[in-house]
Amino acid sequence: MKKFFNEFKTFAMKGNVIDLAIGVIIGSAFSKIVSSLVNDMIMPLLGLILGKISISDLTITITSRLGSDPIIIKYGVFLQNIIDFLIIAFSIFIALKAVNRIMRKNEKEVKPPKEEVLLTEIRDLLKNK
């Protein structure tokens, strides 16, 4: 049992697991910020532009048979969630694009060792003969 916990401790303390945990925490906080942005700023403005309606209150009511409760489809809330997703996806796209640009820049700056350059030159000379 002690070996199991030591293995788990080794696994949990690896950099990738800790990085993932930090990413999840930041992601959930970012999601709350985006949800607030959409719910409290974008949707009210959009509702005002569309004629003073509350987007989140948009529903379709389907009456059911035999006097049971009607079925309510809340497509306004669905629209808000789509806007949330699009903003988060766009933000991630921009962040990844910036990271990829930095990674490519770093790859260009890395010069191979002198031995590797020399061996490449020798290979090319032998290939040409």
Q: At what angle do helices 15-37 and 2-12 cross, to 10 degrees?
A: 60
The CATH number linked to 123 is: 1.10.1200.120
94-101: average pLDDT? 88
**Cα 66 → chain centroid:** 46
Q: 117 pLDDT band (50/70/90 cuts)? A: confident
pTM score, whole prediction? 0.60
Tokens in use for 12?
A: 């949990």
Bridge partners for 61 per DSSP: 72
Instruction: Quote the CA–CA distance of 79 and 38 in Å, as a whole number.
Output: 10
Range of the domain at 57: 2-128
CA distance 73 to 96: 36
Look at the chain and report how many structural domains it folds into: 1
pLDDT at 15 (0 to 100): 67
